[in-house]
């Protein structure tokens, strides 16, 4: 991982006390505190939305909406800081994403298979190997149950700790860890199956050619 | 292993480290794919969310433009009717047979009556008091706000976003 990315992405760079002070200041309308909160979390919310293969525009719209909600509640005194800000923010984000996915399902009709198609995700990693790896991962994640997928996304896209995810999903830590491991195993198996299928197709093509 | 801040960090089995690392790389790529200026736009959006007075504006604009359009339509109709009446009046000055004069005068009088009735109708249409309906629409608009607000209210009602 590039050091620069780690600096921008790692939530651990904000100590708990500093985060609480930021949240208080933001609640009082401090512009710089808001700018810092947005810098810390906007991309993580965006990535969470993108993990469902939503377009960049829709992911940005969801990100905007999440922060508008957070701002309204923080400045309106509806939030009391108890060290659960990140869990709260990403719960709001998950609700927005679930709403959007439900809306898409409602609009899709069986006679219009094209309406199921989601937007292609962009490739930040432009190497062919990286792009292929990401395509396989996305395809495998599509086969996970929603519950398993959410854990994987909250962990790897939103960068939440297991403790935060457990709080957000209201599950015991042991259950959550077991589910995360099970989801990883499923992904590994699905990718193995996809690779085997791809290999089989290539063998068939070679056999046809010969 | 990944970079997560995790009090409950556990050792990932060797057999799953590969897939875990791949997911971390995908997460980094998705975050890096955010469009340029995302943070600035989100920040502007937060400031806009506080400006509650900006919401009724679209409704007001729609109402104003609808009024102007109705008045222009009424004016065009009035000009057309007056023009038609003027042409009819001129045509009566070109030596009509004496026997037709009475009939033409009655016809012209009828046209003028029609013109006045239409003008009154247009005036009435232009000055219809739609305040009550507009107030009602404003109320609905304020109540609904945006779909997100509606969802937010539902969420709040269901306690999904309980803090």
Query: The domain that contains A19 carries what CATH number?
Result: 1.10.1740.10
Nearest CA in chain A to B149: A69
Tell me which residue range forms the domain holding B85.
Answer: 57-136
Using the 3D structure, point to which of A77, A104, A122 is the last residue of a domain: A122
Nearest CA in chain B to A85: B163
DSSP characters for A86-144? Answer: HHHHHHHHHHHHHHHHHHHHHH--TT-GGGGPPPPPP-SS-SHHHHHHHHHHHHHHHTS
Which structure tokens are listed for B88? 């009819």
Has residue B8 been placed in a domain?
Answer: no
Using the 3D structure, point to which of A64, A88, A122 is the last residue of a domain: A122
Q: Are B4 and A152 in contact (CB under 8 A)?
A: no
Q: Higher-confidence residue: B153 or B77?
A: B77
Which structure tokens are listed for B128? 């219809």
Indicate the pLDDT class of residue B50, thresholds 50, 70 and 90: low
Judgement on whether residues A152 and A167 belong to the same structural domain of the protein: yes
Which structure tokens are listed for A179? 């589910």
Give chain A's domain count: 2
pLDDT value at B74 more than 70: yes
Q: Name which of B9-18, B58-67, B72-81 the model is least confident about.
A: B58-67
Has residue B27 been placed in a domain?
Answer: no
Name residues 140-159 of chain A within 8 A of B (Cβ).
Answer: 152, 155-157, 159
Identify which of A18, A64, A21, A57 has the alpha carbon closest to the alpha carbon of residue A41: A64
Does A125 contact B at CB distance below 8 Å? Answer: yes
CA distance B26 to B6: 19
Q: Where are the beta strands (DSSP E) in B10-71?
A: none
Q: If you average pLDDT over residues A189-197, what whole number do you get? A: 87
**B38: nearest CB among A63, A68, A96:** A63
Has residue B145 been placed in a domain?
Answer: no
Using the 3D structure, point to which of A67, A99, A122 is the last residue of a domain: A122
Query: Is B31 in contact with A72 (Cβ distance < 8 A)?
Result: no
Has residue B49 been placed in a domain?
Answer: no
Judgement on whether residues A77 and A135 belong to the same structural domain of the protein: no
Other Cβ atoms closer than 10 A to A90: 24
Query: Is B30 in contact with A51 (Cβ distance < 8 A)?
Result: yes
Has residue B130 been placed in a domain?
Answer: yes
pLDDT of residue B58: 39
pLDDT of residue A12: 46
Does A163 contact B at CB distance below 8 Å? Answer: yes
CA distance A155 to A51: 12
Query: Is B43 in contact with A35 (Cβ distance < 8 A)?
Result: yes
Has residue B89 been placed in a domain?
Answer: yes
pLDDT value at B33 more than 60: yes
Tell me which residue range forms the domain holding A143.
Answer: 124-210
pLDDT value at A146 more than 50: yes
pLDDT of residue A185: 95
Judgement on whether residues A170 and A85 belong to the same structural domain of the protein: no
CA A190 to chain centre: 20
CATH code (residue A160) = 1.10.10.10
pLDDT value at B110 more than 70: yes
Q: Where are the beta strands (DSSP E) in chain B?
A: none
Which structure tokens are listed for B69? 């359009």
**B42: nearest CB among A1, A63, A124:** A63
Q: Are A49 and A62 in contact (CB under 8 A)?
A: yes
Name residues 40-99 of chain A within 8 A of B (Cβ).
Answer: 42-44, 46-47, 50-51, 56, 59-60, 63-65, 67-69, 71-73, 75, 78-80, 82, 84, 88, 91-92, 95-96, 99
Residues on chain A touching B35 (C-beta within 8 angstroms)? 56, 60
pLDDT value at A8 more than 50: no
Indicate left, alpha or beta for B82 from its phi (over 0: left) and psi (-120 to 50: alpha).
alpha
pLDDT of residue B43: 93
Has residue B24 been placed in a domain?
Answer: no
Burial class (CB in 10 A: 0-12, 13-18, 19+), A163: middle
* Cβ within 8 Å of residue B36, ≥6 positions away: none
**Tokens 């298979």 identify what position?**
A113
The 10s digit of each residue's pLDDT in A129-142 is: 678 889 899 999 99
Give chain B's domain count: 1
Nearest CA in chain B to A190: B19
Which structure tokens are listed for A206? 């070679």
Q: If you average pLDDT over residues A77-104, what whole number do you get? A: 89
Judgement on whether residues A134 and A206 belong to the same structural domain of the protein: yes
pLDDT value at A112 more than 50: no
pLDDT value at B55 more than 50: no
Judgement on whether residues A174 and A138 belong to the same structural domain of the protein: yes
Judgement on whether residues A5 and A72 belong to the same structural domain of the protein: yes
pLDDT of residue A133: 86
Judgement on whether residues A19 and A94 belong to the same structural domain of the protein: yes
């Amino acid at each position: 991982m590039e050091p620069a990315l780690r600096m921008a992405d790692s939530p651990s760079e904000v100590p708990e006390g500093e985060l609480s002070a930021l949240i208080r200041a933001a609640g009082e309308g401090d512009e710089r505190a808001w700018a810092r909160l947005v810098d810390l979390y906007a991309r993580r919310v965006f990535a969470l939305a993108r993990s469902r293969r939503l377009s960049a525009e829709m992911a940005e719209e969801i990100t905007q909406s999440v922060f508008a909600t957070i701002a309204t509640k923080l400045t309106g005194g509806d939030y009391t800081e108890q060290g659960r800000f990140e869990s709260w923010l990403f719960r709001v984000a998950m609700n927005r994403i679930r709403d959007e996915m439900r809306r898409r399902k409602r609009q899709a009709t069986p006679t219009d298979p094209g309406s199921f198609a989601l937007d292609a995700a962009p490739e930040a990693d432009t190497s062919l190997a990286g792009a292929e790896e990401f395509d396989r991962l996305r395809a495998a994640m599509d086969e996970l149950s929603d519950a398993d997928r959410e854990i994987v996304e909250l962990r790897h896209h939103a960068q939440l700790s297991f403790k935060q995810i457990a709080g957000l999903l209201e599950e015991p830590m042991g259950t959550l860890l077991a589910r995360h491991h099970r989801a990883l195993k499923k992904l590994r198996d699905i990718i193995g199956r996809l690779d085997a299928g791809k290999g089989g197709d290539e063998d068939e093509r070679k056999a046809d050619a010969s | 292993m990944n970079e997560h801040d995790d009090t409950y960090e556990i050792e990932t089995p060797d057999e799953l480290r590969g897939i875990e690392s791949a997911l971390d790389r995908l997460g980094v790529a998705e975050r890096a794919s955010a469009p340029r200026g995302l943070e600035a736009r989100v920040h502007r959006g937060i400031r806009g969310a506080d400006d509650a007075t900006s919401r009724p504006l679209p409704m007001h604009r729609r109402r104003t433009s609808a009024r102007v359009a109705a008045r222009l339509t009424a004016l065009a109709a009035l000009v057309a009717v007056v023009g038609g009446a003027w042409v009819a009046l001129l045509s009566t000055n070109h030596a009509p047979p004496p026997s037709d004069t009475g009939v033409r005068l009655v016809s012209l009088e009828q046209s003028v009556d029609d013109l006045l009735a239409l003008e009154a109708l247009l005036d009435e249409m232009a000055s219809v008091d739609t305040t009550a309906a507009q107030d009602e629409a404003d109320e609905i608009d304020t109540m609904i706000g945006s779909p997100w607000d509606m969802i937010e209210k539902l969420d709040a009602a269901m306690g999904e976003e309980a803090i």
